[in-house]
Every structure is written in C-alpha cells, then in structure tokens.
Amino acid sequence: MDTNTVTQAAQIVSTAALAKLGAGLAVGLGTLGSGVGIGVIFGKSIESAARQPEALPLVQRLMFTGFALVEAQALYALLITFILLAAK
C-alpha cells in the first residue's frame, strides 16, 4: 500500500471528483480574503466621508479603485476553479 494520501484517495474516488472538491474549496477560501478586504475598504471610505464630507469625490474615486483591485483577488481563485472544473 503506497503512502501517498492523494493516490490512496484517488483509488476510492476519481481524480475528476477530487478536482471538483478542490474547485469548491478554491473559490470558497478565495472569496474569504476578498470579502474582508471589501468590507474594510468600504467601511473606511464611509467613515472618512462621514468625518469630512468635502473629501467625498476623492474618497469615492479611491474606493472604486480599491474595490476593483481587491475583487480581482477573489477572481484569481475563481480562475483556478474554472481550470479545476474542466479536469477529468
């Protein structure tokens, strides 16, 4: 009996099933960090806009910039999910 756990697991379920499991894990864990990041960005933006309403245009611009950059991180994980879903 070989000691590699992945090969042992692949003898019970197929690699396609393992790939789909990995795909689910990938996108689930990936959106965690992005969710925290978006929450922090928008929370700080709202707080700073409430403290100084004249800064709202600047804050809004930086907020959308930060949002797109953080959202991209979750989408990197989604890309891996697409790659894994296509495995057989």
Partner 1 sequence: MGESHVIVHMPIQWFGINLSITNFVVMLWVAAVLTFLFLAGAAWSLRLTGEGRFPNLVEALLDFVRENVSEAFMGHHGAKWFPFVACVFFFILFGNLLGLVPVPGYFHAATSNLNVTATMAVLVFLIVQVVAIKVHGLKYYWGLLFPKSAPAWLRFTLMPFIEVIGIFARPFSLAIRLFANMTAGHQIILVLLTGELVGVTWMMHQGIVWKFLWPAPLVGVIAMDGFEIFVAFIQAFIFALLTALYLGEALEESH
Place of tokens 């197929």: 14
Neighbours of 23 (CB within 10 A): 20
The region of 3-11, 33-41, 44-52, 67-75 touching partner 1 under the rule CB under 8 A is 67-75
Select from 8, 11, 14, 65 the one that contacts partner 1 (CB under 8 A): 65
Confirm or reject binding of residue 17 to partner 1 (CB under 8 A): no
In the complex, the smallest distance separating the C-beta of residue 70 from partner 1, rounded to whole angstroms, is 11
Within 43-62, the residues that bind partner 1 by CB under 8 A are 61
- C-alpha 77/C-alpha 32 separation (Å) is 11
Q: What are phi and psi of 4, to 5 degrees?
A: -80, 120
Longest dimension (CA), the chain: 69
Binding stretches for partner 1 (CB under 8 A): 61, 64-65, 67-69, 71-72, 75-76, 78-79, 82, 85-86
